[in-house]
Amino acid sequence: MINRNYSIAFNFRLDHSNFTIPLTAEIEVHHSEPYYVVKNFRAQSQKERSILPDVRIKKVNGIWVHCDSSKETALSMEVGEAIDRYEAGQL
């Protein structure tokens, strides 16, 4: 069951570098489990198609992980922190 949708903005750091890319994404909150579908990843100035495939993440013991692997990645951490800021009213 989808309960709400919103957009987030975050900086994604490329592996093994100091280079970051400002991105935006749309969030679908599913409260049945709960988990979050993150979709429509775009550079902040881009309005067209997504640059990454949709991902599903959830928070387990305070750590943001992918639903399919239960593994934490740089992407799940950055998106999860942006979700935390949004839900805390800090965006």
Question: Is 2 a residue whose pLDDT tops 70?
Answer: no
Per DSSP (E only), the strands in the chain are 2-13, 20-30, 35-43, 55-60, 63-66
What's the number of domains the chain is made of?
1
- pLDDT for residue 1: 53
Element (H, E) at 77: helix 74-87
49-74: pLDDT as tens digits: 899 999 999 999 999 999 999 999 99
25-55: pLDDT as tens digits: 999 999 877 899 999 999 977 777 899 999 9
Residue ranges making up the domain that contains 9? 2-87
